[in-house]
Amino acid sequence: MNDSEDRSEQRDLELYWKARWPIVSEARAALWERRLDKARIVNDGSCFFTGSILLGESIEVLLMDQQDLGVRMLDCAEHYLAAAEATDDLSTYGRIGQAELGRAQRLKRLTLVRWLRGGALSVNDLRRAQTRKEGWLHQIFSSTDWRSGGFSLADWMLEYLVAEAPADALSIYGKYGLLTPAVLRMSNPDEETLSLVAECLLRSKPDHCLVAKERLETLYREMTAWGPHFDHTRALYEDRLLYALVRGKSFKGTQDPIALIKMMKLRQ
């Protein structure tokens, strides 16, 4: 993409986000009022559920330059997720028998909220979250037909990269991903891309890192393909931000969450 095309795309994206805000705010105003009522949510016992939703919504409203609302959402999200952590609130994870996964997701989201609020990203807490669900993950991916169940190693690998553990990302890719037929691996190219990034971080070979950077850039542009035909099912907003974080830390020299969100907004 040349400079002229880049400027044109950024103008279009500015217009897209500007037009999106009144639509989103009108549709969700009543929901936000309920979700931002701390006493009500705590009394309802829905802290984990609501805190998780507010994490994603805070990223979305920050993409729309609604800083004040984003800050309020993050404040409530931290309050709810910290309360859920203290009371071991598992939300739907408890009802479907996935307590390990629930506890891991709860701590991961609390860690991300605190980072978004201006704190340092706690690699130790991210690793603790990983440890909580390792048994569940190994059980899932030890099955010979895990791909047919709709699972992907990409999320697990991504979290290892964010937690500064590229060797672990490569290890699970070699242990589980490479053992599946090539035709099935091709259906989820995110895994291979993340394996290339992990190898780059471990070995720093220029030619290899160039390929990894190009592949991650393609994936990043898919994750930030905003517009009328935006695929909301591709990933959660929090996961899109994690891809932006890996890209930022590995190749752009930043892990500041607000800077990353601004870059995401305009696909920079």
Question: pLDDT 10s digit of each residue in the chain, 268 long?
Answer: 677 777 889 999 999 999 999 999 999 999 999 999 999 999 999 999 999 999 999 999 999 999 999 999 999 999 999 999 999 999 999 999 999 999 999 999 999 999 999 989 999 999 999 999 999 999 999 988 888 888 889 999 999 999 999 999 999 999 998 876 654 555 578 999 999 999 999 998 899 999 999 999 999 999 999 988 888 888 999 999 999 999 999 999 999 999 999 999 999 9
Task: Report which secondary-structure segment, H or E, holds 95.
Answer: helix 91-95
Q: What is the Cβ-side half-sphere exposure of residue 93, based on CA atoms within 13 angstroms?
A: 19
Report the candidate in 264, 238, 246 with the shortest Cα–Cα distance to residue 196: 246
pLDDT at 234: 85
pLDDT at 185: 54
Record the pTM: 0.93
Task: Give the span between the Cα atoms of 128 and 22, in whole angstroms.
Answer: 39
- Are 260 and 241 contacting, i.e. CB atoms less than 8 angstroms apart? yes
Extract the tokens encoding 36.
């931002």
Distance of CA 37 to the CA centre of its chain: 25
pLDDT at 240: 96
Cβ contacts of 92-97, under 8 Å, gap ≥ 24: 92/49
Q: How many secondary structure helices (H) and strands (E) does the chain include? A: 14, 0
Task: Give the span between the Cα atoms of 208 and 201, in whole angstroms.
Answer: 10
Task: Give the span between the Cα atoms of 75 and 73, in whole angstroms.
Answer: 5
Extract the tokens encoding 84.
């859920």
Report the candidate in 70, 76, 69 with the shortest Cα–Cα distance to residue 47: 76
pLDDT at 1: 64
- Are 264 and 244 contacting, i.e. CB atoms less than 8 angstroms apart? yes
